[in-house]
Amino acid sequence: MNSKIKILQQLRIPILLIVAFISVSCNSFEDNFYSQLKTKSEIYHKTKKLQQFDLSKITNFDWDYFQYIRGNESVEISAYDIKKSLNLNFDPKTLDLNKTRFYFFKNKNLIREIEINSEDFKTPYFTINYCNKDINKILREESVFSLSAETNILLFPNCRSK
């Protein structure tokens, strides 16, 4: 019994470090994402020139493509609807109000799921367009977006897929 307690005590710190790292990396993604959107949007408003927004530069991990789903302020998006809409091969969680969830894939396997706040009037409203309306994913090499922002921020990918 004592050996089990010692093992648990030894594992406690590494587990806490892993949890802290995951929390910081997710918050860091959200902070970097909105900071870049805000900065690029402000430049666009001043210059009226499209701005480049590179999603791959704010991720600190390797991925091949991503998919995303944006919630709204009045109705949760069910796990069933997310799975159907994004054609996922796993069961996602329901998306809460005012959240946006990114699914990052490597070799067709989900490697990271990041959920960010997307409350209206508190965070910049953005829409990401897909290159191919039939395939709702964006490849890493397409993730350098042209940003325009008249009323909402529109992100147009650098389309290379067919």
Question: How does DSSP classify residue 86?
Answer: H
**Total domains present in the chain:** 1
- Please report whether residue 161 resides in a domain: no
Distance in angstroms (rounded) separating the CA atoms of residues 10 and 4 = 10
- The tokens for 26 are 């997710």
- Please report whether residue 81 resides in a domain: yes
Residue with tokens 């991990």: 61
Work out whether the CA dihedral 133, 136, 97, 62 comes out positive or negative. Answer: negative
Residue 162: what pLDDT? 47
Residue 99's nearest CA partner among 30, 149, 43, 32 is 30
- Please report whether residue 125 resides in a domain: yes
- Please report whether residue 22 resides in a domain: yes
Pair type for strands 144-149 and 138-139: unpaired
Structural domain range at position 11: 2-156
User: pLDDT tens digits, residue range 83-101?
Assistant: 998 989 999 999 999 899 9
Tens of each residue's pLDDT in the chain, 162 residues: 566 556 545 555 444 334 333 333 446 899 998 898 888 888 988 998 888 889 999 998 999 999 999 887 888 999 999 999 898 999 999 999 989 999 999 999 999 999 998 876 677 778 888 887 767 889 999 998 888 776 577 778 878 654
- Please report whether residue 137 resides in a domain: yes
- Please report whether residue 162 resides in a domain: no
Distance in angstroms (rounded) separating the CA atoms of residues 63 and 61 = 7
Please give the backbone phi and psi of residue 117, each rounded to the nearest 5 degrees, phi first: -75, 145
Distance in angstroms (rounded) separating the CA atoms of residues 154 and 96 = 23
